[in-house]
Amino acid sequence: MNSIVSQPDFNDPVQAMPPFGDGPPLSHFEFWPAWKFYAPVWCWIGCQMIRYRSLRAPLAANPGFPAGGLVGERKSELFAKLRGPERKLLPDYIVIRRLDRDMDTQWPAIMTMIETAGLDYPLVAKPDIGCRGAGVRPVRSAEELRRYIEAFPKGEKLIVQHMVDEAGEAGVFYVREPGAKMGEILSLTLKYFPEVTGDGHSTLRQLIMADPRAGAIQHLYTSRFGDELDRVIPMGETKRLIFSGSHSKGAIFRNGNIYITEAMRARFDAIADAIDGFHFGRFDVRFADFKAFQRGEDFAIIEFNGAGAEMTHIWDSRMSLFDAWATLFRQYSLLFKLGAANRRRGVRPESWRNFFRLWQREKSLVKRYPHTG
């Protein structure tokens, strides 16, 4: 199993990530259908609705976010809420609306926007509305970016962002009760990107199928490579299988809770202070040196979200099913608790009508986005 991710050089003082560690290739529930895995969680949510006498409490958990960030929020609107010195943690980006016209007409204006913003390739293109890594792709040239935008739904917005091409990535799940000065990091998910190494005679497809984990979920990887699947990978050449740090797209997650530090918590307190109306959510971060990140230093926030976030360390293959459910029970108990507290402070949650409009829009758009990288 360890061959599917890069292992650190322990003689190097800079380590992007902790050791991957041992464990089964997959947990038995890791890729269950959503209805099967989340059924007990939905029952728990129903119990919380009864307990707090509120169906919409989660929509008030983050007063600064549409529907609390549960669904349908725009990344660009959330990015705009991060202000002050902490804003420098966000990589530079621009927002583009794919116009309902010929691409030749819009392209010169897009090139001007990129030049004015000082963006250089490689870049990351991603939908403004979306979840679970849908439509996120690296773009390494103007030609690749143009093809991405041409495939994007007309009339919709996308983000083009500086690529933070560092080896370390993590998800930081943070909560803070309304009125409290300090919050808590409840989950730290370490994200590893699967790769295969050529032996000089096996094709890319064969290398994927030979790995216990990648072979079991090969459909997540093979659709990205087309004709390259049948190319023999030269001896020693490494091929990364995905770009997106999304579990549903094939990234490998590990529980990093033992690595949480007081310095990290203090830094994310400061970040939360800089986001209007934020109490509950997850930050996806990248870094070159994990120890520096533990000190609250030298990292970038590539994305963050609100009430729709999940404690993703549950997808560590070493996690038991009942521990995963218990983690989500705690997560949703906190979500209702924070939402109810904000309602007592006068926050009015999103109407059901607006909530379902946001949900339906996101669900529809995700199906139309370009393929995830």
Q: Following DSSP, what letter does each residue of 170-231 receive, concatenated?
A: EEEEEE--TT-S--EEEEEEEEE--EEE--SSSBHHHHHHHSHHHHHTTHHHHTTTGGGGGS
Q: How do the domains of the chain map onto residue ranges? A: 92-163
pLDDT class for 51, splitting at 50, 70, 90?
Answer: very high
Q: What is the pLDDT of residues 309-348, one digit of tens each?
A: 999 999 999 999 999 999 999 999 999 999 999 999 999 9
Which of 269, 246, 281, 275 has its CA nearest to residue 71? 281
Query: How far, in whole angstroms, is CA 75 from its chain's centroid?
Result: 11
What mean pLDDT do residues 128-145 have?
93
Q: Is the pLDDT of residue 10 over 80?
A: no
Which of 69, 337, 51 has its CA nearest to residue 179? 337
Phi, psi of 274 (to 5 degrees): -85, 0
Q: Is the pLDDT of residue 287 over 80?
A: yes
Helix (H), strand (E) at residue 58: none
Tell me which residue has tokens 């999304």: 246
Per cent of the chain over pLDDT 90 is 89
pLDDT of residue 278: 97
CA 260 – CA 286 distance, rounded (Å): 15
- Say whether 48 sits in a helix, a strand or coil: helix
CA 82 – CA 370 distance, rounded (Å): 28
pLDDT class for 42, splitting at 50, 70, 90?
Answer: very high
Give 49: exposed, middle or buried? Use CB within 10 Å, 0-12, 13-18, 19+: middle
What mean pLDDT do residues 23-49 have?
97
For the beta sheet containing 137-139, the strands, ordered from the edge strand earlier in sequence to the opposite edge, are 93-97, 157-162, 123-127, 137-139
pLDDT of residue 275: 97
Instruction: For residue 2, give the DSSP letter.
Output: G
For the chain, the helix, strand and coil percentages under 3-state DSSP, each to the nearest 5? 40, 20, 40
Q: How far is CA 218 from CA 206, 224, 229, 241, 339, in A?
A: 10, 11, 11, 10, 40
Which of 328, 314, 356, 341 has its CA nearest to residue 42? 328
The domain 92-163 is classified under which CATH number: 3.30.310.50, 3.30.70.360, 3.30.1490.20, 3.30.60.50? 3.30.1490.20
pLDDT of residue 101: 82
pTM: 0.93
Q: How far is CA 74 from CA 165, 219, 361, 362, 367, in A?
A: 24, 29, 11, 10, 17
Q: Is the pLDDT of residue 133 over 90?
A: no
Q: Is the pLDDT of residue 2 over 50?
A: no
pLDDT of residue 13: 56
In this structure, are residues 263 and 153 in contact, taking their beta carbons and an 8 Å threshold? no
Mean pLDDT computed over every residue of the chain:
94
CA 253 – CA 94 distance, rounded (Å): 29
Tell me which residue has tokens 């979500």: 335
Do you know the residue count of the chain? 373
CA 372 – CA 244 distance, rounded (Å): 7
